[in-house]
Structure 1
Amino acid sequence: MRMQIILPRVEIHRFYSSFENTAHTHEDQFQITIPIKGTCHFQHEHKYLSLPPGEGIVLMPRDQHSLHIGDGASLVIIRVRQESMYPQGLPSQREPQYRQQFDVKRISRYFGQWTSGMMNRDLDDPLEEEELETRMISDLQELIWSGGLPVSPAMQISHEEHNQHHARVLEYIHANYTEQLNISTLAGLAMQSRYHFIRTFKSLMGVTPYQYVLQLRVREAIRQLQQSDATVTDISFNLGFSSPSQLYRAFAKITGMTPEQYRKTRL
């Protein structure tokens, strides 16, 4: 059996029971291979390695490799693009440790959290997907660099500067919440990495940036349902929802009723 998560900057694959592949390379991705149960028989550039549970290999892009596991074994393979491998402030020319020991319980816990996040996300909204991908990459960076992460610039700015940056982010969101927003732009306004921006925003506002944008859109949808004859479809597209169904889901989650039901209660 195989489970996988495929996002633009990171891929997570988990194999249960027997699996093997032939020698190959990845042009612009690092690969982290971590046996969870049983032995992984690994070949890297014609060198054979036998990896017990928790002993992982970190391959550079274009390294040739192949592997196989037997019945009853379990394996996690993570592939991440070069630009996402390094935490903010860490030199990109620094190479990660080739052979590392990983906590298999921690890896399994992370995988469960990532899978749950993918299953419960809104398939129609790239902003939520970007939030999840950012969290996955941050978790991965912590695993790979084993506490060697640099102090984020976000932790070095003054309290006054932090408030100014946050106010700028909120101003931008309120001016553009009907458009397609992205975490990179918002984090840039906050002068933070993507991960630290999401974490800081949630600690201050009680919700993630994606959830905050949804609240603004639903609040405006309520106003338009009360004060106009616009259809739910027109309202959904005017407010930046990718489809009427996305508005229905967000509206019902926040108000407990559909847009039509809400409009009827206000007639």
Structure 2
Amino acid sequence: MKMQVLTENIELCRLEEHYEDSPHVHKNWVQLTFAVRGGSSVITSGTSGFIPEGEGIIHRPMQEHQIRVDEGNRAIVIKVRPSLWESLQNNEADCIAVEQVINPEELNAEFNRWISPLVLTDEDDRYWRSLTETNVLQYLTRNLKRGACPETNPPCLSELSSTGDPYMDQVFEYIHRSFTSPIRIDLLSSMALQSRYHFIRSFKAATGFTPYQYILRLRIQRAKYDLEYTEATISAISAGLGFASASQFYRAFVKITGMAPEQYRLGR
């Protein structure tokens, strides 16, 4: 049995009760398959495997695969357009691990929350489709396990090769690695071995910005890249960068760049 809803950029499926498809590939989807009750069988490019409950696997475009879900078991499939997948990965092709671990009860509950507006309202309602995409991308951003990423140059505001303090250097390394996720000032100050008040003062002395302002500018700099070089929607970019809402992202972008995200994209 298969339950399915589809938006422009995301497809959500729940598979159960003797579901089995044929070997196939997706040209324009990245597929994430999670076993949320019992396990599921998977064949990837001719190699058989098994997804235990609470785990998942990712298939990239043009990678052949086949899924089977036996009686009493359940799997949830999330398909994401490649352009959105790039924003989730921060454009690091190997950053998100192929094998994933999730909380099956949480994903079951989230799935029901995602699909309810699309099932109960007019399927042409763009607001609900956009909201569903944002909620799914926020969930993936929070929960996807990251693997070993290739060396990249994270977006920086200025050259800060060293502050002269190894603990502060560690703070900047952490921020540049994690700026799309929530970052607590108390965690940063503890990493720097400083009080919260002293840390904020020393951080601003080194950068000219408070930690919040610095992280916000890193996010906007990444947003500018996504607007220029990807086709990701404004909502998807906002969710991938950790903003609480698209409106919050919009206000921050205008404040820092002096123009709306749509204007920036048109002028790229």
TM range (shorter): 0.5 to 0.7
**Structure 1 counterpart of 2:179:** 151
Residue 69 of structure 1, CA deviation: 1.8
- CA contact under 8 A between 1:121 and 1:129: conserved in structure 2? no
Structure number, greater radius of gyration: 1
Give matches, 1:68-83, under 5 Å: 68-83=68-83
TM-score under structure 1 length normalisation? 0.56
Match of 1:100, SS state, is: strand
Partner amino acid for 1:151?
F
| Letter aligned with residue 193 of structure 1 | S
Q: Per the alignment, do residues 96 and 18 of structure 1 end up closer, same or farther by CA in structure 2, a change over 3 Å counting?
A: same
Residue correspondence of structure 1 range 169-248 to structure 2 within 5 A: 184=233, 193-194=238-239, 199=245, 201=247
Distance in 1 (alpha carbons) for counterparts of 2:88 and 2:75: 29
Kept in 2: contact 1:37–1:73 (CA 8 A):
yes
**C-alpha separation in 2, matches of 1:120 and 1:136:** 18
What SS does structure 1 have at the residue aligned with 2:77? strand
Report what 1:30 is aligned to.
30
2:41 maps to 1:41: yes
| Distance change >3 Å, CA 157–CA 64, structure 1 → 2 | same
Q: Name 2:106's counterpart in structure 1.
A: 106
Higher relative contact order (CA 8 A, sep 6+): 2
Ranges in structure 1 where 5+ consecutive residues have no aligned partner: 166-182, 204-267
Contact kept? 1:87, 1:141, Cα under 8 Å: no
Deviates more, 1:137-146 or 1:65-74: 137-146
> 2:59 corresponds to which residue?
59
Letter in 1 for 2:83: E
**Match of 1:199, as an amino acid?**
S
Secondary structure in 2 matching 1:49 = strand
Task: Report if the CA contact (8 A) 1:42-1:48 is conserved.
Answer: yes
Could you list the runs of 4 or more consecutive aligned residues of structure 1 that deviate by over 3 angstroms after TM superposition? Answer: 86-89, 119-125, 145-150, 152-159, 194-198, 200-203
SS of residue paired to 1:193: helix
Q: Tell me, which stretches of 5 or more residues in structure 2 are unaligned?
A: 150-176, 184-210, 221-231, 250-268
CA apart distance, 1:58: 0.9
Shift of 1:60: 1.5
C-alpha separation in 1, matches of 2:96 and 2:104: 19
